[in-house]
Amino acid sequence: MTRINLKLFAHLRSYLPGEVVDSTSVYECENDHSINYVLENLHIPLEHCHLVLLNGVFIPPEQRSSQLMLDGDTLAVWPPVAGG
């Protein structure tokens, strides 16, 4: 079993499972799952996942299907933002 720290920001917070503390929850999944698998399993639309960091490192969209999550990893996701 893989346990990851999942941090979702802005309107994505509503997708956080279980107990949430400071926009973070612990997510458990089977071993060897990709970032996109985790996001899709939580029913988060991938087009809403603009900035994705794995342990503080930006993961571009083309790598999110192949980048596997390891026990203890931290996945942080922000939606696109607009402002002015």
Nearest residue to 36 via CA among 9, 17, 54: 54
Looking at residue 74, which CATH number applies to its domain? 3.10.20.30
Segment 10-29 shows an average pLDDT of 88
Q: Where does the pLDDT of residue 83 fall: very low under 50, low under 70, confident under 90, or very high at 90 and above? A: low
In a domain, 83, yes or no: no
Question: Which pair of tokens denotes residue 21?
Answer: 């503390």
In a domain, 53, yes or no: yes
Domains contained in the chain, number: 1
Q: Which residues contact 78 (CB under 8 A, 6 or more apart)?
A: 9, 10, 12, 50, 51, 52
The residue among 40 and 18 whose pLDDT is bigger is: 40
Q: Where does the pLDDT of residue 81 fall: very low under 50, low under 70, confident under 90, or very high at 90 and above? A: confident
In a domain, 11, yes or no: yes
pTM assigned to the model: 0.91
The residue among 8 and 21 whose pLDDT is bigger is: 8
